[in-house]
Amino acid sequence: MNSQQDMSYDAKNPPPIAFEKTLPPEEFLTKINEVRTLLGPLTEKSSKYCSDAAIARYLAARNGHVKKATKMLKETLKWRSQYKPEEIRWEEISREAETGKIYRADCTDKYGRPVLVMRPSSQNTKSPKGQIRFLVYCMENAILNLPDHQDQMVWLIDFHGFNMSHISVKVSRETAHVLQEHYPERLGLAVLYNPPKIFEPFWKMVKPFLDPKTRNKVRFVYSDDNVSKKILEDIFDMERLEVAFGGNNSESSFNFEKYAERMREDDLKFFGNTTVSSTSALLTGSDSEVSDTEMNYLEDKDDVKIKNGASLDTTRP
């Protein structure tokens, strides 16, 4: 890994992500209106996901290309109508959350961005579709908790206890697909905390499947490296950051019962209920962006290569 590149993030001045900052206001609005025209009539439900800010994120993800951004947004609207992420409730995915493998921290960063803590070594289920559905729930919840002035979140990925048995090519590829295609420009920064040497082959395999903007938001931080640790110090109030990441807050570690209460409260706050719809329940363990046959093939082939430390043909479709 290029540690110099990994540590070059200017936490005090995060790069602008709003597409309008790269264009004169008139041209920016023109592009948004062009996307709206190409989208055509929308249902009331779809319109909620096509605000100016949302369209701007899709334009940014496609470097201002109106037709490509429109196609991407149409695919998201189709995905949302089928996958129904807004209908996922805590009770549906709580089994996935028991070990704290993903949770929204009770603090934000200095810019008010929600923080998703991820711990790969805490994987507790074997259902790729259940794991993806849980991730989608976490993303939706973090977005609902965004302050008015923010569009993005931060990921803190803790590699404590990690080994290659925690890696799933199947889940990783589908995760990248869902996040990049349906949640563009939602990631502000991803911090990989103390990744072990054995993680490098996997990272080299995954990198080509990440768009350059996403790759540039990934930073490696090591607890024994004061230079890389400064990334966390610049971004977080260390008094509020949990001890596991070098912070001073010893009371913010994951507690399932307390977290379950928080999520139920959020479900009530944002949706008015905590009930799992019949449609949402049926989708758990069903819909997948990539066919099971293809994913099983990729899983069998690539997992063996990674665990054996072999080079990977990352250009293969």
Residue with tokens 């994987």: 123
Residue with tokens 């540690």: 3
β 153-158/114-118 pair status: parallel
Q: What's the pLDDT score for residue 305?
A: 44
Cα 187 vs. chain centroid, distance in angstroms?
A: 6
Q: Enumerate residues 6+ apart whose C-beta is below 8 A from 11.
A: 189, 230, 231, 234, 235
Q: Coil, strand or helix: which one is 132?
A: helix
Q: What's the pLDDT score for residue 136?
A: 98
Q: What angle do CA 57, 60, 61 make, to 5 degrees?
A: 85
Q: What's the pLDDT score for residue 282?
A: 64
Q: Coil, strand or helix: which one is 22?
A: helix
Sign of CA dihedral 6, 8, 14, 15: negative
Query: How far is it, in rounded angstroms, from Cα 108 to Cα 68?
Result: 33
β 153-158/187-193 pair status: parallel
Q: What's the pLDDT score for residue 289?
A: 40
Q: What's the pLDDT score for residue 19?
A: 53
* Verdict on whether the full-model pTM lies above 0.85: no
Query: How far is it, in rounded angstroms, from Cα 45 to Cα 29?
Result: 23
Query: How far is it, in rounded angstroms, from Cα 118 to Cα 129?
Result: 18
Query: How far is it, in rounded angstroms, from Cα 31 to Cα 193?
Result: 39
Q: What's the pLDDT score for residue 302?
A: 45
Q: What's the pLDDT score for residue 9?
A: 45
> Do the Cβ atoms of 195 and 309 come closer than 8 Å?
no
Q: pLDDT tens, position by position, for the chain (317 residues)?
A: 444 344 344 544 554 544 555 666 788 899 999 999 999 999 999 999 999 999 999 999 999 999 999 999 999 999 999 999 999 999 999 999 999 999 999 999 999 999 999 999 999 999 999 999 999 999 999 999 999 989 999 999 999 998 877 777 788 889 989 999 999 999 999 999 999 888 877 788 878 878 888 888 999 999 999 888 899 999 999 999 999 999 999 888 899 999 999 999 999 999 998 787 666 666 654 443 433 443 444 444 444 444 444 433 323 32
